Amino acid sequence: VNADADPGAATAGASAGDAAARRSDQDDRSRRRTEDALRLSEERYRRFVAQSSEGIWRIELDAPAPVSLPPDAQIAHFYRHAYLAECNDAMARMYGYGAAGELVGARLGDLLPLSDPDNAAYLRAFIAAGYRLTDAESHEADRDGNPRSFLNNLVGVVEDGHLVRAWGTQRDVTERRRTELERQQFASLAESSGEFVGMCDTELRPFYVNSAGLRMVGLDDLEQARRTPVQAFFFPEDLPFLLERFFPRVQRDGRGEVEIRFRHFKTGAPLWVIYSIVALTDESGRPSGFGTVTRDITDRKRAEAERERLLEAERAARAEAEAANRAKDEFLSIAAHELLTPVTALKGQTQTLQRAVARQQVTPERLARVLVSLNASADRLAVLTRDLLDVARLRTGRLPLRPQTLDLAAFAGGVVDAYRERIGPDHTLSLAVEPEGGVSSLPAVRADPVRLEQVLTNLLENAVKYSPAGGPVRVRLSATGRRGASAGATGEPGTSGTPGALLLVEDEGIGLPPDSEETIFQPFGRAANAEQQAIRGMGLGLHICRQIAGAHGGRLWATSPGEGRGTTVSFWLPAAPDSPLAAGAAPEPAGDD
C-alpha cells in the first residue's frame, strides 16, 4: 500500500539546496500522495463500518482500569468509567436508535444492565480470557428497556498495565433466541404431556417422540425411536389402510384422525389409540412430515369390549333359553304323538271289539288276539310314561339317586344272567373282565343299583334289538386310570386317565350310519337305519341312560365301524372315592409295562 511511504524521510530532506528543493518538491508530492492514500483508506474503512450489518463499536475508559485489580473490582471500574466512544448506525439501530450519533456517549450500564447476572459473568469471562472474547452472548437492553441478545466479538487494548479501551463487533440474535426459547417451551410442553407426541419426516422416519410416547409403546429412548420407522408402530394388517388411504388423505386435508392400534414394542400387545395427526410443512410450505398427538384409549376399548362381551353373553343366554324352549316344545310334541299312538289303538280296538260283541261276531281266537294287543298297547303307554317321567326328572336334576358302593363285575354279572333268560336262541350273551382273570383290578363304583340295572338292561336290550339277525352280545369290563389299564380303545377323552371302571356292550348288529353316534343320545333321536328297518323304539332309552351316567359322574357313548358292522356302547363310571384303586394304591397287574 502506498500509504506505507516514509513520511519522516521526506521531512529530513527539506533543508537542502536546489537538489534539496527538487527533492523537497518530490517529498511534497510524495506526502500528498501518502495523505491521499490515507484519506482514501480511512474513507473505505468508514464506508465499510457504516454499511456493515454488524454492530461495530469502540468503548473508551475515561480512567484506565488497572488489570491487576480483582475481576469484580475491575468490573465495578468498567461500570464507572466505560462509555461508548464510537459505533456505526447498524449498532445504533440494534438499540432502537436511528443513527450512531444518538447512541454514542452512552455509559456501559445503559447498554449492559448490571442487574442481569449473565452480564457480570460475561465481563468476568472477558477478563479471564485476557480481554478477548469470541462469539460471547450478552444480554442488553434497547432504548425502551426491551431485552436484546447479542453475539459479540471483542478485544481490549491494554497499555502500561491498564485497560484503556475495547472495540468489537456484535450481531443481534434476539429473534433467534426467542425462537429457540419458544421451541424449548413447546418441547417441554410436549415432554410434560401424558399423551404420545411425535413428529416424523415425509419418509415416515420419526425425529421426535416425547417420553410419555416412548413409555406408551415400550421404546427405550429417542435414539431407538429415530431408528424405528412409523410403520413399525402399527400392526401389519393396518398398514394398507394407513399407507394407501390415511396418510394420503392427511397430506391432502392437512389433518386426520383415526382409532387404530399401536403395537407395544416389548410385549407386542395392542394399544388402542386415537391417532390424530397433522401434516407438517417447512418455511416454504412444502410437506416436511407429520406430527401427532395420540391418546391411549385401551381402557375405553377394553370397557367397550367388556360391554360387548356381556351383551354377547346375554344374547347367547337368550338364544340358549329360546333353543331350550323350542327343544321343550319339540319334545312335548313328539311325546304327545308317541302317547297318542297306543291310545288310538286302545280306543279303536276296544270300540271295534264292543261292536263285534254286539254283532256276536267274536271268535275266542279273535278275542285272545285283541286282548294281547290291548295289553301290549297298555304296556307301551306305561313304559313311555315312565320314560317321560325319567327324562323330566333328569332334566331338572330331580331324579333321586341312592348310591351304594358296588362291585361292578358282580353287579353286571347278575344283570346279564337275568337278561339271558329273556333272549331267544338267536343271541348269545357273554361277560368278561379284562385283563384275563383280573376281577380284583376293577375298582368299586358308587351307583344307585336301581338306575344302574336300568342302564345295563337298556344297553343289553338295545344290543339284542339292533342285531335282528342274532349273534353274540359281549359285555367287557376293564379298569381305567392306571398304567396298563385297557381303556382308550374306544377313546372317550377324559376317562382313560381317571380311575374308574369301563363297561362295553358290543353287538354284531346293524351298526350306526356315520355321524349318528350323537343323534341316538338325543331325546327321540334314532339312527336312520333303525327307522328304515322298522325296528321299534321311541328314542328315549339311550338319552335316559346317558343322563343317568352323567348323574353318577360317568359317561356313556357309542361307536360303530359303520352300518351292518355292529355297535359298541361304552359306559364308564368313576372309581368310588373310598376305593383303594382310586387312590392309585392298587397292585399293578403282572407284566405291566
Partner 1 sequence: VTTESRPPDGWGAGAGPPGGGPAAGVLVVEDDHAIREWLRDALTDEGYAVVAVETGRAALARLASWRPRLILLDLKMPDLDGWGFRAAQLADPAIATIPVVVMTAAAGAGGTRAEAIARLTPAALLRKPFDLDVLLDTVLRLLEGPPPD
Residues in touch with partner 1 (CB under 8 A)? 332-333, 336-337, 340-349, 351-352, 355-356, 359-361, 366, 369-370, 373, 376-377, 531-534
Closest CA to 78 of 61, 96, 95, 66: 61
Cβ proximity to partner 1: between 302 and 369 the closer is 369
Give dist(CA 375, CA 141) in Å, integer: 124
520: DSSP letter? G
Pairing of strands 162-172, 55-66: antiparallel
Helix (H, G, I), strand (E, B) or coil at 553: coil
Least distance (Å) between residue 320 CB and partner 1: 24
Grid cell for residue 554: 360317568
The nearer residue to partner 1, 328 or 347, going by C-beta atoms, is 347
- Least distance between partner 1 and beta carbon 540 (Å): 16
Cβ at position 330, least distance to partner 1 in Å: 11
Q: Cβ of residue 376: shortest distance to partner 1, in angstroms?
A: 7
Which of residues 248 and 348 has its CB atom nearest to partner 1 in the complex? 348
CB of 375 to partner 1, least distance (A): 10
Least Å distance between CB 527 and partner 1?
Answer: 11
Residue with Cβ nearer partner 1 (104 or 381):
381
Are 201 and 289 in contact by the 8 Å Cβ rule? The answer is yes
Q: Using the minimum distance from each CB to partner 1, give the nearer residue, 187 or 528.
A: 528
Spatial neighbors of 549 by CB under 8 A, at least 6 apart, are: 455, 555, 556, 571, 572, 573
**What residue has cell string 442481569?**
116
CA distance 106 to 85: 8
The three cell numbers of residue 17 are 539546496
CB of 361 to partner 1, least distance (A): 5
Q: 543, 521 in Cβ contact below 8 A?
A: yes
Compare residues 332 and 489 and give the one whose CB is closer to partner 1.
Answer: 332
Q: Which residue type does 470 have?
A: G
Beta carbon of residue 551, minimum distance to partner 1 (angstroms, whole number): 29
Adjacency order of strands within the sheet including 270-281: 206-209, 196-200, 287-296, 270-281, 255-263
Q: Which is nearer to partner 1, 14 or 336 (CB)?
A: 336
Nearer to partner 1 by C-beta: 224 or 529? 529
Q: How many Cα neighbours within 13 Å face the side chain of 202?
A: 8
Q: How far is the CB of 423 from partner 1 (least distance, A)?
A: 21
- Measured from the CB atom, the residue of 188 and 352 that comes closer to partner 1 is 352
Secondary structure of 262-325 in HEC code, one letter for each residue: EECCCCCCEEEEEEEEEEEECCCCCEEEEEEEEEECHHHHHHHHHHHHHHHHHHHHHHHHHHHH
Amino acid at 347: K
**Shortest gap between Cβ of 333 and partner 1 (angstroms)?**
5
Which residue, 42 or 531, is less far from partner 1 as judged by CB?
531
The CB-of-578 to partner 1 minimum distance in angstroms stands at 48
Q: Least distance from C-beta 421 to partner 1, angstroms?
A: 25
What is the nearest approach in angstroms of partner 1 to the Cβ of residue 454? Answer: 25
| 21 vs 374, beta carbon nearer partner 1 | 374
Cβ distance 278 to 290 under 8 Å? yes
Q: Please tell me whether residue 363 adopts helix, strand or coil conformation.
A: coil
Considering the complex, state which of residue 134 and residue 352 has its C-beta at the smaller distance from partner 1.
352
> Closer to partner 1 at the Cβ: 43 or 329?
329
Taking the C-alpha atoms of residue 454 and residue 463, their distance in angstroms, rounded to an integer, is: 14
Q: Which residues of 94-128 are buried (b: 16+ CB within 10 A; e: fewer)?
A: bbebeebeebbebebeebbeeeeeebbebbeebbe
Sign of CA dihedral 512, 514, 517, 520: negative
Alpha helices in 439-536 (DSSP H): 449-465, 528-532
What cell was used for 191?
415432554
